[in-house]
Structure 1
Amino acid sequence: MKALHLVGPTGAGKSPLGQALEREGFLGRRVLHFDFGAELRRVATGEDLSEFTLEEVYFVRRVLAEGLLLEDEHFPLAEKILRAFLRRKGACEEDLLVLNGLPRHLGQAREMLRLVDLRLAVELWGDHQVLWRRLQEDPAGDRRGRSDDTPELVARKLRWYEERTRPVLEFYSQRGISVLRLPVSLEDTGLTLLQKLQTMLGESLQIFQKPLSY
């Protein structure tokens, strides 16, 4: 399945853009927005015990409470969450999978390339002052009820993004995967970010048609 990876620090608008892509479709394809954070929160409710063990549910709850990253040894759980999502959505080969929140570091990125045909990474980016104000003012309406927007956890996420997630973009470039930087303003919503993305890409289908060899 072809995939697009939304990359960016917390507050940049990945989830609103992913939701807009799923709602509107992209380049003539149905879009499945895999919001890893939302899927973790779904697992943490314990409602999917047919898919996940109690041990996995308790582990995910700890990950969310402490703002942890899933390390390489936990990728089998991340893959299990992804596969459960695809089954629930009735995914088919013609769909476009939008990855949001996974992968977050090089180990996860290497593993993800085994599972999907990644064609494009879009880095949403604004300076830290803009990101902090977006978290406080919530222009896209996606931060309500979030328990992980405390100053301590946000600062940790921003640091982890610079140290561990941004190197993934260079990893992609070295493997011929297109990387696009999308500037984010304080006022941007999912729809305005989608419009910016469409303008920057134009009508180019080549990214999703050319063969790639990782």
Structure 2
Amino acid sequence: MTDTTTRLLIIGPPGAGKGTQAAQIAQRYGVPAISTGDIFRANIKGGTPLGQQVQAIIERGELVPDTLTNEIVADRLTQPDAAPGFLLDGYPRNVEQVHALDNMIEGDSLDAVVLLEVDTDAVVSRLLKRAELEGRADDTEEVIRHRQHIYAEQTAPLVELFSERGILVAVDGLGTVEEVAERIATGLDSLLTSKAGR
């Protein structure tokens, strides 16, 4: 590994195993895994002013607005543990947030974006099984497929943008945790090495 910062992002549909892989990637590169969902949940649990604001938005069934999400991420990236870099999960979700992130990291774009690609039917059956085990009655097949559809719509422009920037590492997300982690490591090493050599 080099001494420079490593700024990474992981994207993939709900149920693709992003959280599991994010933890492994972060550990491998010695950077914090930053999940906006975790930040929101921690603030809600802690009853912070931010948590109360986010909870009210979620209870209305709305998405947390970009401005608030951008502020939270900007604040998190100034913390000392993020100095050597970071791995983002759940942000940016749209092109506007990508531009906000570009500004936060002073025009230096991300170094690499890991895209977990999975077959929709495989993920749906995985999530239905999980819902059954965890007793999540709300997670019906219709709801899960709807979430997958929204993800695909929202993410397509991001995938295109990161692909144009030459920083996209698309990885088959099906298989054991170890198999997927190995594919990610190979793809990231190859991209980061070629970038370092430029």
Fold shared per TM-score above 0.5: yes
Structure 1 residue 202 displacement after superposition: 4.3
Report percent identity of matched pairs.
22
Q: Paired residue for 2:94?
A: 105
Superposition pairs of residues 11-22 of structure 1, within 5 angstroms: 11-22=15-26
Q: How many residues align?
A: 189
Please list the CA deviations of residues 77-119 of structure 1 after superposition, one character each: whole Å capped at 9, or x if unmatched.
21332244346x63253x2311111111111122111123301
Check the 8 A contact 1:182/1:196 in 2, yes or no. yes
Cα gap change, 1:203/1:108 in structure 2, threshold over 3 Å: closer, same or farther? Answer: closer
Higher helix share: 2
Check the 8 A contact 1:119/1:177 in 2, yes or no. no
Superposition pairs of residues 101-140 of structure 1, within 5 angstroms: 101-116=90-105, 117-137=109-129
- Given the alignment of the two structures, is residue 41 of structure 1 paired with residue 70 of structure 2, yes or no? no
Structure 1 residue 201 displacement after superposition: 3.8
Check the 8 A contact 2:44/2:52 in 1, yes or no. yes
Check the 8 A contact 2:112/2:188 in 1, yes or no. no
Q: Paired residue for 1:82?
A: 73
TM-score normalized by structure 2?
Answer: 0.77
- Given the alignment of the two structures, is residue 173 of structure 1 paired with residue 163 of structure 2, yes or no? yes
Q: For residue 80 of structure 1, what is the amino acid of its counterpart?
A: E
Output the CA distance in 2 between the equivalents of 1:208 and 1:144.
43
Q: For residue 122 of structure 2, what is the amino acid of its counterpart?
A: V
Check the 8 A contact 2:112/2:191 in 1, yes or no. no
Q: Secondary structure at the match of 2:91?
A: coil
- The RMSD of aligned alpha carbons is 3.1
Output the CA distance in 1 between the equivalents of 2:137 and 2:41.
11
Output the CA distance in 1 between the equivalents of 2:138 and 2:35.
15
Q: Paired residue for 1:156?
A: 146
Q: Paired residue for 1:188?
A: 176
Higher normalized contact order (CA 8 Å, seq sep 6+, divided by chain length): 1
Output the CA distance in 2 between the equivalents of 1:166 and 1:44.
30
Structure 1 residue 172 displacement after superposition: 2.0
Check the 8 A contact 1:67/1:148 in 2, yes or no. no
